[in-house]
Amino acid sequence: MKKLEFERKIKHNPRPVVVDLWAPWCSPCRAMAPAFKEVSQKYAGKVDVIKINADESPTVLKSLNVMSIPTVIGFSGGNEVLRRSGLQTSGMLDIFFEATLNGEKPAVLPPAPATRIIRTILGVALLLVGWLRFDSILLMVLGGLVVFSGYYDRCPIMRALLPRLRNLFRRQKQAEG
């Protein structure tokens, strides 16, 4: 697909569009394909899907500043709503399609599964080093915060606070601008 053809499809499409950037040799792309197909069928008629082979359309990837695949980008009214790179679960894809349909980024966006694992391992390592090596409360608290950063989206207190904090910062930006 050419860059101009892609831009035309995004800007003049009456429905929101989810763009899936993939390649046939990409293992995460192939692993995500069944979940993507299932979720896209659920939103058929509400959200259009454009699948772009990264090898065949490098100019489109460059124009979108895509550095890795798979990458999924949601557009509503010609504007980018949301973007995620890497393997996405069916639950995350469902959140993604819903956000694209609504034209608004969700208040709480869960981290990718790999990010959760990395943050958990790093946080536990900090906890252990703080406890066993240095007897440091500061390192243990930091480790706890790193672990929490991988699971904040599941915390009901954070779900209640994040939308309010975002609205507060939006109001401040509007008052300044």
Active site (catalytic) residues? 26, 29
The strands making up 71-76's β-sheet, listed across from edge to edge, are 48-53, 17-22, 71-76, 79-85
Query: What whole-number distance in Å separates Cα of residue 161 and Cα of residue 77?
Result: 29
138-175: b or e for each residue (b if 16 or more CB lie within 10 Å)? ebbebbeebbeebebbeeeeeeeebeeeeeeeeeeeee
